[in-house]
Structures are given as C-alpha cells and as structure tokens.
Structure 1
Amino acid sequence: MQKQNDQQRRLPRRGKPLIPKMVVLLMVMYIVDVSLGLPDSLLGSGWPKMHLDLNVPLSYAGFVTMIIALNTIFSSLSSNMVTTKFGAGVVTLVSILLTTVGMLGFSISSQFWMLCLWAIPYGLGAGAIDAATNNFVALNYDSRQLNWLNSFYSVGTIISPYIMGSCLSTSAGWHLGYIIAGSIQMTIALIVFASLPLWKNTRQVKPINHQTKRRLTNWQMMKIPGMRTALITFFAYSTVEQTAGLWASTYMVRVHGISLATAAKFGSLFYIGITLGRFFAGVISDRIGDQWLVRTGCIVIFIGIAMISLPISNDHFAIIGLITIGLGCAPIWPAILHATPINFGADKSQIVIGIQMAAAYTGTTTMPPLFGWLASHFGMKLFPVFLLGFAVAVLIASERLARVAGS
C-alpha cells in the first residue's frame, strides 16, 4: 500500500480557489444529495400508518427495505462501469429519475405487493448516484465540501418526515406524502439535466492494474489489505443509521406512547442531528482528522442511546437522545468516505467507494429486517441494545482499518 502522504498529493488541495463553473456545479451537487436523502426517511416515518392501511404486520417494512437495498447493492457494484462509460452527470440524472418513478409508484400503491414492485426502481436509483457523487466530490473538491455534501443528504432526510407527518394528518395520508416528495425529486432531475454541460472536463480517474493495464475488477479489489475491514465498518455504520431512521418513529410510539403523526415528525429529529453534525464536521475536519471524527461520533452515539433507553417519563429527554444519536452518526460516514482515496489510492477510489456502498446497503438489506423480526418477538425495547452493538462494531472496525492503512 502506498504511503499516505503520496496518496494525498493525488487529491484536491484544500483552499484551492474554484472557478465559477465548478462553484455552480458544486451547488448542483448539494441539491442532488437532497434528492438522495428524500426517499430514505419516508418509509420509516410513514410505516406506522402504512402497515395498518395495507393490513400487513409491522415487521414487513423490513421486506420493502430489503428489496430497495438489494437493488441498491447491484447498482453500487455497477457504478464504476456505468460512471466510466456514461459519466457522472448522466448517471446522476438517470438515478434521480429512477427514484422518482419509485416514489410516485408508492403513491398509487394500495396493496403490499405493489410497494415491493415499485421498490425496484426505488433502489436502483440510489446506489449508482451515491457512489458517483461522493467520488466525484472527493476527486474534484476538498474534504470540507465532502462533509457538507453529506449534510445536504441529511436535509433531504429531514424534509421528507415533515412532509409525511403533515400528510398523515389529512385524509390523503401517506399517498400524498409520496406524491409531494416525488414531485420535488422530479424538479431536481430537471436541474441536473440543465447542468449536464458543466460535468464535462472534470476529473475522472479510472482504476487500472498498472501491471496488466486492464481495468481492476471488484474481486481484485477485495484482495487489497484493509478492504474487508473497511467493508465491515460501512456495514456496521449503515446498520446503525438505517435502523435508527426506520424504527425510531415506531419506537417512540410503542415505548414512549407518542401519537403517530407526532412520532413521524420526531423521526426527522434524528436526521436534524446528522445534518447539523455534518456541517460542523466540515468546519473542523481538516483540523482533527478522519479517525478522531469517527471516535468522537461513536462516543456521542453511546450517549444518545443511553438517553433514549432510560426509564424517564419526560418524552423530551428521549427526543434529545434521538438528536444526539444523529449528531454522533454525522461525522462517521463522511470521514470514512474521505479516507478512501488516502487509504486505497485516488485511482481506485471510484471502484472502492462502489464496493463500500454495496457493503453499506448489505447492512441496510439484512439488519433492519432482522431487527423488525426481533422486535416482533422481544419488543421494541430491544431498539437501543441493537444500536449499541453495531455502534461498538463501527468503533472497533474503524480502529483496525486505521492501523492497517497506516502500516
């Protein structure tokens, strides 16, 4: 593995002035990440009412997220190939259109199998855009912009629970929530379409085996030291964030006795914590480094978990705890993403990020459904314990990855 300082020379320099074209494109990228976050928190905030209307068990949310995540894994693993062939701009546009189709499909669904059908384009649109946008910013902008990019993802996850919470109090219900969110998504797609000329002549690095001069495959990348540890880190972190995002509203309803509409809005507080935390992390990221951001984030998560699990009658204490968990999650994802070109090389970052995204969505595929099954047998009070176990796994795996990358 190359030395860390050699890797740094291949990355964008902090503080380098951006030409107007790149400033405008960066603004578009921020808007794109809003579109990436919009779909992710809709299901969790609407599910306490959706499962009643569709007459399916509470745990069936896990099946929908599983279908979404399986298709996201497929598109993540394909992201290097399609981005290299068509460019990040086209891939981003098509991905947003696919998620728009999925969300509008949810809005007309009256049976559970229909949700499962529309979950296919819902998921296909997420994986490629996630890998393409994060690698694009990592190659063309500094680390501060990568943190702020992911904070705009959180803006999308904040907006959608408020949309859903407001719609649940009307006769149109969750169907209207998906119509409104899908319409926002379509507007963002039009913005990306108008910006396509700006994506040309930006930095794209192809992963090449310098001995054979052939493009590296996903399987070849798995043999690189530290790769498996990186995948465990992404898997565990994704489990914490997605399980919290999906089941927080239900936890508030079942354990704290909050109303359905109020709990849907409270679910967004988790994402508010992520948004504020990522903005702040962007300010200090170059000063304290990626690994300390991960360590601090894990400690804050532990504090938030303790707050939501204490038997205190005041619901505001649990709500603050939910925000605290979000604050803890905030710096972890951008930090481990930012470290990817440094740990594995800028020439390999696109394919590595694609594989890491696949690992993250594997956690999304398997763990929230597993928790749903466990909660149906042992109760929603298991929620804080489940989050704690995987938060500890994030800390242990990230520490090991830092040691391997530094060797």
Structure 2
Amino acid sequence: MPFCAGPLFAAHTPKTLELTHLFLLGIVYLSFISLGLPDAVIGVAWPAIRQDMNQPLAAVGILTITITLCAAASSWLSSRLIERVGTGLITAASCLMTALALLGFSFAPSFGWLVAMVIPLGLGAGAVDASLNQFVAAHYTSRHMNWLHGFWGVGAATGPIIMGLALAGEGGWAGGARHIGLAQLALAVVLWATLALWRHSPQKPITSHEAAGESPLVFKPVATQALWLSPLAFLLYVAAEMGTYLWAASILVTNRGVTLPEAGVWVSVYFGSITVGRFSAGLFSNRLGNRQIVTLGISLAAIGATLFAMPALPNAINLVGLVLMGLGCAPVFPSLMHETARRFPAGTARKVIGWQMMAAYAGGSVIPAAFGLLATWVGLGAVMPTVVLTLAVLCLTVRRLNHLT
C-alpha cells in the first residue's frame, strides 16, 4: 500500500491537506524533470549507435518517426485514459514504461530491437506529457505551469550530460541509456508509492477576475472553430521553436561564417534562454495573465527571429536575435497550455489538451523537416523568414482563439 495512504495523509485537516498538496507539487515537478531526461538518448547517442550497428545516417529517422507517431497516438487517447484511471496512475505507469524501454534500449542486440523499444518510449512520453499538462492546467496557476516547463528544460539539459559522460567513459551509449533508465525507474517507484496523493489534488486555482471580486469565469458556448484553432496554435508554435533549434547551427555556419563549435554553443544558448525565460516568466505570469504573456512572448520571438533572419546585420545582432527568439518562445507553450483550462469546460479541456500535444509532436517533427526541404530547394536563407511568417500566423491564430473563447 502506498505510504501516503496512511494516517498522515488520511486526516483532512487544513494543515495536513496543505502538506499533501505540497508533496504532490514536488512529485509533479520531479515528473516534469523525468519527462525531459530521455530526450537525449537518440540525438546525442546516434553517432555511436550508428557506428556500433552499422546503420546509415538516415536510419535515425525510423526511430524518431516511430517515437513521434506513438507519442501522438497516446496523447490523442490521454483524455479517455484520465477519465478511466486518473492522472496519477497514468503518470506512474508511463514513467515505468519509459524506464523499462530505456533499460531494454541499453541491451539492444540489433537495430530492430531499438525500433521495438522506442514504441513504449513514445507511448509513455506522450501519455505522461498530455496527462501532466492537463492536471497542472486544471489545478495550478500559470506561475507553476511556466516553472514546471522550466524543470522539463532542466531534465532535457541533464540527459545530454549523462549521455555525454557515458560516451566519454567506458559505458558508451548503452551505459548512458541504462543510467537514464535507472533514474526513470527510481522515479517510477516514487510515483507508485505516492499514488494516493493524487486523490487529494488542490482545487482549481482562483482566476484574477475572482481574486478581484468579480464574477467567476463563464465559458462561451464551445465553437467548432476553437476546437481546431487551439491545436493549430501548438503546431505553429512548436514548428517555429524547433525549426529554429534544428537549423540555427547550419544557418550560422553556412550563412554567417561561424565555426561549428561556436554554432553549437549558440544553439545551446538558445535552448538555455527558453529554460531561463520560463523560470523568469513564472514570476509575473499570474499578474499579467496567460493571454497577455502569450502575446508579449510571440511579439518578442518575432522580433528576435527577424533579427536572426537578416544576414546584412552584424553577427553580434544576429546572435542577440537568436537569444531574444528563445526568451520570447519561453512562456508561449506553458501559458497557452494553462489557458486551455480557462477557454473550455473541464471535459472539453481534457480532450483539447490531448489534441494540442498531438499537434505539438507533429509541429516538432514534420514542419522542421519541411523547412529542410525548403532549405534544399531555395536555400538556408529562406528558413528564418518562414519562421517569422509562422509566428505571424500564430499571432493571428491566438487572437482569433481569444475572441472565440
């Protein structure tokens, strides 16, 4: 029986309930770190995996596409799973699934085994991603949503370090996958031991309108257009963020004359600016509100992308633009996600968040790949103007969505 089912958490006094909520918030933060940890396994380890298994460079596409399709499928089904078994059980089971997949990955005797292992890896990642985002949007403030996604960045940054140390040592890529898998397994044990905490989730956070003494939020009738505009916003946002992340190094080396090591550093700075921006945005997101902070973020990202897109400017200004792009992107995803629970009634919001995560996976894989075709046919110089256009369409999409909801 989970330890939290005991007397300490059974008493529903205000003090013990507050303690329970605090423990649960800590578990959610740990879960977001674990969500980012496995992201390093394929990308960082692929050169070594490819050499050991004698695979062509393009074979990594089989792994990434399989993960994306499985994650998108489980995100789509997440609302039904939440209704049947609850967020806590989904999170614990998904974490256990990804841990076992990573451990199996580390013992893979062939490339076919790797493909088999990324199926549960993708299914687990998609289910826990959608479930946790839905839970936080429904039960915590925008501040926590931004900070939680910042902790996802901590996990995503820690994973490459673990894998890099393993590749530099005797363990190799298999050792790196094993270490990350064991970390996931330890968290899965914690999640299974604390399942009862999820039954005492905090109430829906008070909105700024309610805090000011105004009437509680009243939902507009759900418009069909809003149901597809909301996932579209996530597809566009992730396409812009990941498209920049994927092609920034190539643009810097080919069109700006930056060395490859320096380009790698600046891409890391871009990713770091997103993480730092999310922690910073959490400080004032409750005061500004989701909609205003999303508008400000998209505007700053568009300014940064425009500066980075202009080869006539000095490299220093281009690089400032890349950092501004990251800082602007920072609050958009978590604040849009958090606002979903305020746009739609609870049952509809759960379904829409699943659709949003599915669209986000599509936007992070299909669209950046399409940018690659654009770079091949037109040139790398066309990528960032396309990102700017994507951000402009995103701005219009969000404005229309705000009007409908």
The answer for the alignment partner of 1:258 in structure 2 is 260
The answer for the alignment partner of 1:343 in structure 2 is 343
The answer (yes or no) to whether the contact 1:107–1:179 under 8 Å persists in 2 is yes
The answer for the alignment partner of 2:155 in structure 1 is 156
Residue 240 of structure 1 aligns with an amino acid whose one-letter code is: A
The structural deviation recorded for 1:355 is 1.7
1:125-164 map, 5 Å: 125-164=124-163
The answer for the alignment partner of 2:196 in structure 1 is 197
* TM-score using structure 2 length: 0.78
Residue 72 of structure 1 aligns with an amino acid whose one-letter code is: A
1:103-122 map, 5 Å: 103-109=102-108, 112-122=111-121
The answer (yes or no) to whether the contact 2:53–2:111 under 8 Å persists in 1 is yes
The answer (yes or no) to whether the contact 2:243–2:368 under 8 Å persists in 1 is yes
| C-alpha distance 316-125 of structure 1, shift in aligned 2 (>3 A) | farther
Secondary structure in structure 1 of the residue aligned to 2:260: coil
For 2:349 and 2:169, the matched residues in 1 are separated by 46
The structural deviation recorded for 1:324 is 3.2
The answer (yes or no) to whether the contact 1:69–1:361 under 8 Å persists in 2 is yes
| C-alpha distance 36-314 of structure 1, shift in aligned 2 (>3 A) | farther
| C-alpha distance 94-314 of structure 1, shift in aligned 2 (>3 A) | farther
The structural deviation recorded for 1:106 is 4.1
1:362-381 map, 5 Å: 362-375=362-375
Q: Which moved more, 1:314-323 or 1:233-242?
A: 314-323
The answer for the alignment partner of 2:181 in structure 1 is 182
1:59-74 map, 5 Å: 60-74=59-73
| Cα-to-partner distance string for 1:131-171 (whole Å, 9 max, x where unaligned) | 21122122222222222222211211222233344445456
Indicate the structure whose relative CO is greater, using CA pairs within 8 Å and at least 6 residues apart: 1
1:382-393 map, 5 Å: 382-393=382-393
Q: Which runs of 5+ in 2 are unaligned?
A: 1-15, 205-220
Aligned length: 372
| C-alpha distance 198-404 of structure 1, shift in aligned 2 (>3 A) | same
For 1:313 and 1:55, the matched residues in 2 are separated by 43
1:231-270 map, 5 Å: 231-248=231-248, 256-259=258-261, 267-270=267-270
Residue 125 of structure 1 aligns with an amino acid whose one-letter code is: G
The answer for the alignment partner of 1:19 in structure 2 is 18
Identical aligned residues as a percent: 35
The answer (yes or no) to whether the contact 1:70–1:365 under 8 Å persists in 2 is no
* TM-score using structure 1 length: 0.78
Residue 257 of structure 1 aligns with an amino acid whose one-letter code is: T
The answer (yes or no) to whether the contact 1:155–1:272 under 8 Å persists in 2 is no
The structural deviation recorded for 1:18 is 7.1
Q: Which structure: larger Rg? A: 2
| C-alpha distance 346-84 of structure 1, shift in aligned 2 (>3 A) | closer
For 1:45 and 1:315, the matched residues in 2 are separated by 27
Q: Which moved more, 1:241-250 or 1:79-88?
A: 241-250
| Cα-to-partner distance string for 1:309-365 (whole Å, 9 max, x where unaligned) | 555999877665544332221110111112112211234321221122122222234
